[in-house]
Chain A
Amino acid sequence: LRLISTTTAVQRKNVGASGPEKYTEAFIKKQIEEFNLGKRHLANMMGEDPETFTQEDIDRAIAYLFPSGLFDKKARPIMKHPTEIFPEQRKIQWGEDGRPFHFLFYTGKQSYYSLMHETYEKLLNVLKYQDQLSAQDLPLQKEKRNLAGSRWLTKIELEEMLLEKLSDDDYLRFIQLLQKLMSLPCADIEQKHIQKFSREVPVQMQKVVIEPLQYDERGVAFSTGEGKRKTARATAVVYDNGTGKMTVNGIDILHYFPVLQDREQLLFPFQFLDRIGKHDTVCTVSGGGRSAQAGAIRLASAKALRSFVTEKEVEFMRQAGLLTVDPRVKERKKPGQEGARRKFTWKKR
């Protein structure tokens, strides 16, 4: 274990230069003990078994005991393991005699440069292995590695890993080195090292279950969808073999939405899929205003149309933004201002 926080004398001197507060090991240990105790207390309070009380249970209990209406999830009360709360920090890198432990300490970015050295060493290894194979006239391995599903670490992730700041240039050089390593045919031997720096790209959004078509008494296929926008909530039932008529709350759209803009919104999902005159729709909507209701019905009918359409087209719809709930809501009015953003008229005197 390396020596950590020094005497208070040193701390007082380096108050300006030390940067963010350094936590001692003892402090962290105490926090962990407190957390565990608190976890057991919480489990007792909620009437559950302290032994099998998971983090999810803790979150639920806290949300129940301290309900908060704040929009920012990170601002709400949380109770997590101290390692998640207190950021990882560099422990002090030099011994009692002032001599640094790492040989690259005086470069300033010791972990970065040591990483570069390591990676280059691996590269040289691979080249040597390649030479050996070609000397023995063995075929070089050429397995196609799947590069499509992976990405390199981002700069921020790399900084977190190395616990020191990097510049864009440094990051680029590192990525270029990795790419060079990957491009060599015999890079498989160093795969373990490379995998530390690559992440999987999630191929698709979470698998949303597309409901199958339902059939009503007449034998016509139909499907339902729900949508919302601002304060409006809408449900749409889309029937097959139709003539393109749409009814909202029992009223024809021409009468319910006299404004062209609203009708264009309703038209959008059908027009996107080239199915304008093919489906009949019956919708119910409540709440919100004219525009919000139109947006809600649009979302609802797009969701309902998913059942009629291939997966590829569903993906197209998602990319077109037809299936996303519009998160914009009315912003809260703040005290000291006239509205959410508008300030009172400024008078010079």
Chain B
Amino acid sequence: LDHGFGLPTAAKECLSSVASQDVPTPERPRGIFHTSESDPAKHTEQHEGRHYDIPLEEVKAVFPHGLPYRFQQQIQTFNEARVMVRKPALELFSYLRSSNFAHPAVRYVIYGERGTGKTMILCHVVHYCSRQGWLVLHIPDAHLWVKNCKELLQSTYNKDRLDQPLQASAWLKNFKTSNERFLRELKTQKKYVWGKRECTEEGRPLGEVVDQGLARVRMASDAVGVVLKEIKQQSQRGSFQLLVAVDGVNALWGRTTLRKEDKSPVSPEELTLVHNLRKMVMNNWSGGAIVTTLSQTGSLFKPSSAYLPQELLGKEGFDALDPFVPIPVPNYSPREFESCYGYYLERKWLQHEQARTEDGKAELRFLSGSNPRQLDRLAGPL
């Protein structure tokens, strides 16, 4: 084990347990804060606070659109994807393992202050489920669907609603990359008519619906709706488990910044994508789980100090999501902080000499307040 940096007291305790741990891979001696367990299923409390690697091909396959931007930059810089195992994630794993799929889907809401790592935990859960072989419906950020939309078309299916072809087609593309296998296996239950000439017969693989949506961009939102409906119906049969992972779920019940052509504001129900997604998040189906995150960062018209579910969801959203299992995400514990600091040190990200001393560590801890995002931003220029 590499003892290049001073051993903090937290690490001394786990040193005794480290002896029974996996021997680090012989190619590169890693620090105490790394495990070579790359399967999230095997992560236990012993692994808490440590980082594990996700092979880069898996990253492309599982997370075409899910990771936060800064994390993607970090992956590019370090040429590896390292995620920390944290307690809320382990909690979620235990719930998911023990959940009964005959019962209606349980909803989990991950909440916490800004920059505490909610999205990363969601990605950890997504990785776990995809390893387990679940069908993962990952919506990276629901806020993207309620703001900054350039094109709004009136829906052909329902006159009241509005379509968003760009967002829908982007999402369909990413969905295709992440769940290729399922799209070939699952078959449609009904016949869908797209226009005068195109229609999808019964029993065709779902991949065709997705391709139809990608080819005919005007129909993309309806294609999304079809896909969601099909998946919901079929998961109840129990042939596969479905994970609905939504980041920024409070966007579904807030306000939008979009306006119709007559300058009247659009409410979320009038958007096809949001409407269909709301149906997915309802717990009237079984055979899977719904894991959502609240996000203040992208939310509209909410104060920056709001982070509790009550505040961010509003009354409507809270009633819709009730009952749910709340999972709070705190800032880094001392051990997690040591682990993150050790990782930066190991990858030579902290270049300043003073950053490598104990005093520098204490300074970083104070200035960042053990907040992951602040620490990341602070360590950047160093």
What is A's interface to B at a CB cutoff of 8 Å? 244, 252-255, 260, 263-264, 267, 270-271, 274, 276-277
Contact = CB atoms under 8 A, between A and B. Distances in A.
Majority SS at the chain B contact face: helix
A195 to B, nearest CB: 49
A304 to B, nearest CB: 17
A276 B378 contact: no
B367 A244 contact: no
B367 A264 contact: yes
25 contacts: A244-B362, A244-B365, A244-B366, A252-B369, A253-B369, A254-B369, A254-B371, A254-B374, A255-B305, A260-B367, A260-B378, A263-B366, A264-B367, A267-B366, A270-B366, A271-B363, A274-B359, A276-B359, A276-B362, A276-B363, A276-B365, A276-B366, A277-B362, A277-B365, A277-B366
Contacts of B368: 254
A97 to B, nearest CB: 80
Q: Which 4 pairs, one residue from A and one from B, show the smallest C-beta to C-beta distance?
A: A254-B369, A276-B362, A263-B367, A277-B362
Given A263-B366, A267-B366, 20 more contacts: A244-B362, A252-B369, A253-B369, A254-B368, A254-B369, A254-B374, A260-B367, A260-B378, A263-B367, A267-B363, A267-B367, A270-B366, A271-B359, A271-B363, A274-B359, A276-B365, A276-B366, A277-B362, A277-B365, A277-B366
Interface residues of B, number: 12
Contacts of B367: 260, 263-264, 267
Nearest to B374: A254
A263 B365 CA distance: 11
Contacts of B365: 244, 276-277
A260 B374 CA distance: 9
Interface in B360-382: 362-363, 365-369, 371, 374, 378
A50 B207 CA distance: 108
Nearest to A278: B362
Nearest to A276: B362
Contacts of B378: 260
A262 to B, nearest CB: 10
Contacts of A277: 362, 365-366
A254 B374 CA distance: 9
B227 to A, nearest CB: 41
A264 B369 CA distance: 12
A270 B365 CA distance: 13
Nearest to B305: A255
A274 B360 CA distance: 11
A48 B367 CA distance: 59
Contacts of A264: 367
A253 B331 CA distance: 14
Interface in B330-379: 359, 362-363, 365-369, 371, 374, 378
Contacts of B362: 244, 276-277
A252 B366 CA distance: 11
Interface string B312-334: 00000000000000000000000
A279 to B, nearest CB: 11
A270 B363 CA distance: 9
